[in-house]
Structure 1
Amino acid sequence: MKTDTRTTAKEAARNLLKSGLTLTKTDVIISAFGPTLRVFADAYPVVDDEDNEVPPRRALEEAREAVTQVLVDEYLEAEGIDELDDVTEWYILCWLVHESETFSYDEGHQLGLGIGVDIDDIKRSTKTWRKSRGDISLRSHDDRVQNINEKPEDRSSRIPVNPDDLSFSLALDKVHAAMHVYDVQGESACCDWLRERNFDTDSTFKATLKALLQVLPHDHDDWELARDLAAGRTRDVLDLDFSPNVFADDGDETTQTTLGDH
């Protein structure tokens, strides 16, 4: 039953993507629910391995997970996304699916459960998102990284990412910290910072950076900093095999900005 549900959802999603209709990625997910529920209804009652009845909600969860994977395959070029930590993957998928930093809490919560993340458990420790009424708002790097120009004792302990650290638990923390260093100290200092942490050989750093270039809106400050990291001397230090030009819209400026531009 699980296989049939996921297969049906994927087929529905692929057909919609090929249809030429103007749909958001959320529309694609929701549109796959109908065919999925028909499969569920045809097989009703559905039971698990322990003969417990499976509710229709579980079929929709399977559909959401399956269609999300279709969207990843369709829209993300970055290799190694499925090898990232769950929190970073959730953050990237939120931007990919919803194309906005603010969206329904229920949608974000379900997306997290699909990859094994309870977003309520990570809210305080990672500061990746905040809640406003019934919505989620994704946090950018400047909400998550301590100011490297301040003395450690003067920094807020409530901000989770310390840019002085030599290692980070989340791939997102690595990239957000690099954005901060580039933003406040400039290209040369950022090059040294990247070398000290061996990010030229860190596949999770590169996969996260490449994914953010693809999913962030191009008028977002973090996209501009991701572009800067993927260009010029920092690109050489990181030994990147891609250029930010690949992800630029017509008319986008893909050259690095200077410290004075921020």
Structure 2
Amino acid sequence: MPTFPLVSELPTVLEASGWSWQRFDLYNHDGFWIGTDLEGNRWLTKLRRVEYAYREIVFDRLAQRMGWSCQSTTFLQLSSADADYLGVTERVHGAHWFLDEHSRDRACSSGCPFEFCLDRPFTSIDDFDGCGIKNLLDWPKADFAACLFGANEPSDRLITVDHELVIIDSEQMFASSPCALSGCAWWSTSDGESSPSGRALALEVCRDIHGLTADDLEQALSVPRGIKVPTRRLKDTRSRLKASYEFASERAAL
């Protein structure tokens, strides 16, 4: 189980009024903010408008439904005062449950499983063998999902202080039609040879997607009352998810 609440456990819309705000400058994330709500919970927002928030929320819901370790995102409705403070005119964005990230360049203690990752190239699925980071294979799963869900670019990931990998930054999913899984780096080894473990994982991802029910897809696409997503974005995301599901299902049957 993840150490943070799932999307299904979050409010469908966060009403941000009177929150405390601070810039999130770590790793040069320009324009990112951390908001602390009135209950003391911290939320990260990238202030990229409702269109991108919607695509990311759809993917996060699906990924968590498939049992993948993925961040939890919900809609953020800013008060006019909070929007003014943040310097934005659009008042609806995405908000991510804030995750404390592990150091990227050193172990945190003796026996820290992150030490396994330091200065180690990950070029094939087999390179993950022996690593104690939880959910590490969800990294290549998300990369295969980028092909299946027509992403402009793959999701990112982080490792938390609890030593679990979490998929993040998936707002580019559903930007186009699905494409061949062979375009994913994990499909082959670094020398271009066939990777049985990579192709087995790609099949597993297809089967995960095929295992989603019609209700799962509808729930992922749902928009809470009061949130207005542009009609074109709603239609495009729905049609592309349908195409992605069919594409994955065909390959799951092979």
User: Shared fold (TM-score greater than 0.5)?
Assistant: no
**Structure with the largest fraction of strand:** 2
The answer to which structure, 1 or 2, has the higher relative contact order (CA under 8 A, 6+ apart) is 2
**TM-score, length of structure 1 as denominator length:** 0.28
**Structure with the largest fraction of helix:** 1
